[in-house]
Amino acid sequence: MSETTTVRPQRASTIDQWDFEADVVIAGYGIAGVCAAIEAARAGAEVLVLERTGGWGGAASMSGGFIYLGGGTPLQKALGFEDSPENMEKFMVTALGPGVDKAKVHDYCQGSVEHFNWLVAQGVPFKEEFWGEPGWEPAHDEGLMYSGGENAAPFSGIATPAPRGHLPQMQNKRTGEKGGGYMLMKPLAETAEGLGVRAEYDIRIQSLVVDDSDDAGRVVGVVAKRYGKQVTVRARRGVVLATGSFAYNQEMIEAYVPRLLNRPAASIEQHDGIGILLGQSLGAQVAHMDAAEVAFFADPQMVARGVIVNARGQRFINEDTYCGRVGQATLNTQDNQAYLIIDEQALEAAHATESATKFFRLEPPKWTGETVAELESEMGLPEGALQATVEVYNRFAAEGTDPLLGRRAEWTKPLGAPLAGFDLREHTGGFTTGGLKTDLDSRVLHVSGEPIAGLFAAGRCTSGVCAGGYASGTSLGDGSFYGRRAGQAAAAIQD
């Protein structure tokens, strides 16, 4: 067979020798891949994982480790929080939309407690402690936190607030390098190894192999590259794509999420969209290709105590919500223009708190003013614009209300003086959440709506529970949940 770098499918009849062979072949050894591997091996399949880098982990092992779970998990219960699958579903349908895959969200919420118990059974540790401060992550190794704005407007009025950000316990974490995600991946990778899952590293899949003697055009393997040489891998039962998002594919970002151009974050270079392209090469459907998680590079302890305004000096989001929502609103609706206005007292109060992301504290402020008028003029905002915003905000804040955006009383205090202005323009980045459309068994769906025989996918190369919105933990959440399903379904195929 000739050397290839194409994503076009290869015909099995052109391959005279397979370099590797297994029942289930999984591409990518991150969160979706490891969960698929465990379940496929438990179902009795011989499993081979192909990983592009030199070891297991992916973005998952660098991540903060939030797993979005609820419906009454033992951790929620132990910490005194009431939740139900129905309540969780109400939140997710609204907060992660518009346009969520309702069947998937329903299925995910119904299975969430079982999934938590499964993670614990694989050795993932959760500390029975709640972190209730604003933050991107808990400051220490606490196991539970609000991670999607559940307790803030508008969602607190739609579903009963419950924290669902479940975090594996990790001491001495290093944000962005080795956090809770490492303590999620480590026991899972060890479990997979214990079950006899084989892994081949430094091997990069490039195309799918289809059975040209079969009408269904079943996927029966992959072609990969290792150290510049082509490698062929036969999958007797099925192939699982678990190669991550397209955050680092410039062409795809330009085509689908242009606002995210040149600002990948919470992702790794290996997320080049290959899984999506390979599915598309066989006619797969995609969904929500314009959707993205958006991080806001600011300390939530400061954001919750200040006022965020746009280039016209107007507020546009309740500042006490999940900071990812502030990021999405800034990038998607304000042209990435935002400023934080905060008074000295609130700034000192924020600085006195603990935070896992203190490096986002951005000292010193770019502008200062003894009065709002002076700050407004220093910032070059149209005369009266910021003054009008603060006047309205302060008038209601004096009574602890925010009729414009619904900020909670505990975070709603009038701004005093002196004041500081922080420049938060271009302070966003993120990763894509759209991808291959899959069913509840993680089968990749053809544009006709039928599953593509022999092809499964999970994780960020698929469209999971998020459509437009995002909550921290939904990526590791649906990646692990539907990774398991992919492994089970692929292993169940009769070879």
Chain residues that interact with ligand FAD, rule: CB under 6 A: 27-33, 50-53, 58-60, 62-66, 176, 181, 204-205, 242-244, 266-268, 270, 274, 431, 459-461, 472-477, 479
**Pick 242 or 415: Cβ nearer ligand FAD:** 242
Q: Which of 440, 453, 433 is nearest to 279 (CA)?
A: 453
Residue 332 Cα to chain centre, angstroms: 17
Residue with tokens 């939740």: 83
* Residue nearest to ligand FAD according to CB distances in the complex: 30
**Pick 168 or 217: Cβ nearer ligand FAD:** 168
**Closest separation in Å from C-beta 176 to ligand FAD:** 4
**Closest separation in Å from C-beta 5 to ligand FAD:** 12
**Pick 167 or 372: Cβ nearer ligand FAD:** 167
Which residues face 445 on adjacent strands? 451
- Token readout for 174 is 């290093």
**Closest separation in Å from C-beta 268 to ligand FAD:** 6
Element (H, E) at 220: strand 219-226
**Closest separation in Å from C-beta 181 to ligand FAD:** 6
**Pick 71 or 264: Cβ nearer ligand FAD:** 264
DSSP-assigned letter for residue 126:
B
What's the CA gap between 146 and 229, in Å, rounded?
Answer: 47
**Closest separation in Å from C-beta 135 to ligand FAD:** 12
**Pick 200 or 320: Cβ nearer ligand FAD:** 200
**Closest separation in Å from C-beta 90 to ligand FAD:** 20
Per the CB < 8 A criterion, the answer to whether 340 and 424 are in contact is yes
Element (H, E) at 206: strand 204-210
**Pick 270 or 334: Cβ nearer ligand FAD:** 270
In degrees to the nearest 10, what's the CA dihedral of 61, 64, 65, 70? -160
What's the CA gap between 495 and 491, in Å, rounded?
Answer: 9
**Closest separation in Å from C-beta 162 to ligand FAD:** 17
Residue with tokens 């009008």: 388
**Pick 245 or 310: Cβ nearer ligand FAD:** 245
Residue with tokens 């909670």: 408
**Closest separation in Å from C-beta 27 to ligand FAD:** 5
What's the CA gap between 75 and 234, in Å, rounded?
Answer: 42
What's the CA gap between 115 and 482, in Å, rounded?
Answer: 10
Q: Which of 491, 484, 481, 437 is nearest to 461 (CA)?
A: 437
- Token readout for 168 is 């594996």
**Pick 116 or 339: Cβ nearer ligand FAD:** 116
